Structure 1
Amino acid sequence: MTRTVLITGCSSGIGRASAKAFLEEEWTVYATARNPADIQTLGDHDDCRIATLDVTDAEDIERVVDRMLDEEGRIDALVNNAGYGQMGPVEDVPTDAVRDQFEVNVYGPHRLIREVLPAMRRREDGAIVNVSSAAGRVSFPGGGVYCGSKYALEAMSDALRNEVREYGITVSLIEPGPVETSFEDRVESEIEGIERSGAYESFYELFEDYDAIGGGGFAAVEPERVAEDIVDAASSTKPPARYPVGPLATVAEVGRLVPTRIADSLWSFASKLS
C-alpha cells in the first residue's frame, strides 16, 4: 500500500523540496501552504494533493486531516515544516511578536500532532517529523525569541517520542544549520517590524549581513539535502531522534556541551570584534 505524508509549509525551500523527495519515493503527498497558488505546480503530479493550511488555524488543520483520512484512510507521516524566524534582542521584540512566533513554530506543530495522533495510534504506526533548527540546540544573542521557539519544539518532541513509542509511532527532529532558502528574507522583514530601544545597535549591524549569523556562504546546505533526512526519518522503523544537517548544525551539537561560563565568554569576545 502506498504510504501517505502530510507536509506543512510547502510553498518553497525545505517544504517544497520534501514534497518532491517523497514523490520520488512514490509516497502520496498532501502538500500544504497558506497560499494554494504557491504550490499549484506540485498538484500537477498524480500522487500529490494540495491544500490550503494555515498552522495557526485549527479549522484548517481539522479540515485537511479529515480530508486525508477520508481519501486515503491513513496518515503514515506528518512533517511539521512551516515556520519562520523572529530575530532581534529580547527587549526590542514586542510581546505580540513573541506570541506570533510561538503560534507558528510551536502551537502550530502541536495542533497538527494532536490532530493526526488518534489515527496513528489506532493503526499503531506512524512517523512525526518536526523541522527544528541548530538554533534549537544553541541560543545566540539577537535570536532569543526564535531560539526559544525551537527549544520548545525540541523539548515537546523529546517528551512526545517517549509517550507514543508504545503505539509504534516515531518522533524525529530535523536540525538544519543555514539553508539556501528565502528564510533570510522573512528574517529581515521581521526585524524591520520590531521596536528598537537604541541599546543594541551592534546586533543590528550584524544582522544586516546575514552571513555574520551563519546564513548563506559555504556553511549553507541546499533544501534538497535537508529533505533527504526528512524522508529517512519518515521511512525508517527506528530513526534517530535528531538529524543535524550541515556543518554549523554539527558545531551546534558540540556547542551545547560547552559550559555556560565559557559560552558567555565567547559571545562577549565576539561582540568586541563586531
Structure 2
Amino acid sequence: MSKPVVLITGASSGFGMGLADELLKRGYCVYAAARRLEPMEKLREKGAKLLQMDICSDESVQTNIKRLLDESGRIDVVVNNAGYGAYGPVENMSSEDIAYQFNVNVFGVARINSAVLPTMRQQRSGRIIVIASLSSHISTPGTGWYGATKHAIKAMCESLRMEVSSLGVDVVQVEPGPVQTGFEEVAFAKMDKMAVSDDYVPIMKSFRAYMEQSYAKAPGMESTVRAMVRATTVRNPKWVYRTTMESRVIPWLRILLGSRVYAYILMKVFSRASAA
C-alpha cells in the first residue's frame, strides 16, 4: 500500500514543523510548504518534500498543488496550518493589516481547499484539517480582527463539512488556546508599531498584561501536535479537537454566562492583570 500523502502549510515552524516531524516517523509522504525553504531543511533531511508556497498567491498555490499531484498522483490529507495574527484596537488596525490577516487565515485556506477538493472528490476520499483557535468562539479587546478571521474559518468548516460529507471527505478543526509557539511575539510586535488612540491605551495595557501572563503559563506545543497527529491518522476523526484547557472550558463558559456577564467578567480579569 502506498504511503498516505499529506500537505502541511506553515511547516517552517511551530505546529506545522512538529506535525511534519511526527508524520515522517510514521512513514507518511509529507509535503511541507512555506514561503521560506531554509527553516525546513531538517525536514528535507528526514524525507519531507519541500514546497515554496505563498498561500496568498493563487498562482503559487495552483503551481505547487499541481506539482504535488503530478508527483504523487493523489492527496490524502491537507493541514491548513499557516496563520498570522496582529493585535490592537478594532478602530486603529490599518486596512492593510486587516486585509493581510484575512488573506492568510481565511482566503489562504480557501485557496488551498479549492485546489485540492477536485482531486479529493474524484478520489471519493480525503481529509481537510484546519488549525482554528479558541478565538473561533470568543473575542477580547485587542483581538477583534484576528478573532474575526477565526470565526470565519469556523463557519467555513461547518458548511464545507456538510457539503462534502457524502463524498468521502472529512473536515476537521483543531482549536488550541494560548500555546508557546512564538505566535504572540509577532502579534505584539505589530501592536507596538500601531498608532493607538489615547482612549484605548488603558484597555490595551490591560490586554497586553493579561496576554503576557497567559502565554507565560501556557503549555507547549505537545498536546496540540498530538491532536493534529490523531486528526491526520485515525480512521474516523472527531470534527473538532480542542487541545488546551482554555480551549475546552472557555467556549462553554461564554455560552453559560451570556454576552453581557462574560464581557463584565473579562474586563474585571483584564483590570486585575494590569494591576499585578
Compute the TM-score of the two structures, normalised by the length of structure 1. Answer: 0.94
Alpha-carbon distance change, 177 to 224 in structure 1, aligned in 2, over 3 angstroms = same
Q: CA deviation at 1:86?
A: 1.4
The 5 Å alignment of 1:31-46 reads: 31-46=32-47
SS in structure 2 at match of 1:86? coil
Contact 1:138 1:255 in 2 (8 A): no
| Alpha-carbon distance between aligned partners in 2 of 1:16 and 1:167, rounded to the nearest angstrom | 30
| Alpha-carbon distance between aligned partners in 1 of 2:212 and 2:73, rounded to the nearest angstrom | 47
SS in structure 1 at match of 2:235? coil
Contact 1:5 1:28 in 2 (8 A): yes
| Alpha-carbon distance between aligned partners in 2 of 1:80 and 1:228, rounded to the nearest angstrom | 16
Report the AA paired with residue 106 of structure 2.
V
Contact 1:30 1:49 in 2 (8 A): yes
| Alpha-carbon distance between aligned partners in 2 of 1:42 and 1:206, rounded to the nearest angstrom | 40
Report the AA paired with residue 142 of structure 1.
G
SS in structure 1 at match of 2:199? coil
1:169 and 2:169 matched: yes
Contact 2:141 2:207 in 1 (8 A): no
State the partner residue of 2:104. Answer: 104
| Cα displacement string for residues 108-158 of structure 1 (whole angstroms, at most 9, x for unaligned residues) | 001000000000000100000000111111111111011111000010001
1:259 and 2:275 matched: no
SS in structure 2 at match of 1:91? coil
Q: CA deviation at 1:271?
A: 4.3
| Alpha-carbon distance between aligned partners in 2 of 1:42 and 1:211, rounded to the nearest angstrom | 32
| Alpha-carbon distance between aligned partners in 1 of 2:251 and 2:270, rounded to the nearest angstrom | 22
| Alpha-carbon distance between aligned partners in 2 of 1:143 and 1:13, rounded to the nearest angstrom | 21
| Alpha-carbon distance between aligned partners in 1 of 2:94 and 2:268, rounded to the nearest angstrom | 28
Contact 2:207 2:270 in 1 (8 A): no
| Alpha-carbon distance between aligned partners in 1 of 2:29 and 2:6, rounded to the nearest angstrom | 6
SS in structure 1 at match of 2:170? strand
Compute the TM-score of the two structures, normalised by the length of structure 2. Answer: 0.93
The 5 Å alignment of 1:173-184 reads: 173-184=173-184
Alpha-carbon distance change, 213 to 158 in structure 1, aligned in 2, over 3 angstroms = farther
Contact 1:210 1:216 in 2 (8 A): no
1:206 and 2:206 matched: yes
Contact 2:55 2:104 in 1 (8 A): yes
State the partner residue of 2:139. Answer: 139
Q: What percentage of residue pairs aligned between the two structures are identical?
A: 33
Contact 1:207 1:213 in 2 (8 A): no
State the partner residue of 2:220. Answer: 222
Report the AA paired with residue 38 of structure 2.
A
SS in structure 1 at match of 2:91? helix
Larger deviation, residues 101-110 vs 225-234: 225-234
Alignment coverage as a number of residue pairs:
271
Q: CA deviation at 1:253?
A: 2.8
State the partner residue of 2:26. Answer: 25
Q: CA deviation at 1:206?
A: 3.3
Q: CA RMSD in A?
A: 1.5
Unaligned runs of 5+ in 1: none
State the partner residue of 1:235. Answer: 233
Contact 1:87 1:187 in 2 (8 A): yes
Larger deviation, residues 238-247 vs 121-130: 238-247
SS in structure 1 at match of 2:121? helix
State the partner residue of 1:6. Answer: 7
Contact 1:128 1:171 in 2 (8 A): yes
| Alpha-carbon distance between aligned partners in 1 of 2:85 and 2:165, rounded to the nearest angstrom | 31
Q: CA deviation at 1:193?
A: 3.3
| Cα displacement string for residues 2-45 of structure 1 (whole angstroms, at most 9, x for unaligned residues) | 10100011111111001111112211000011111111221012
Report the AA paired with residue 71 of structure 2.
E
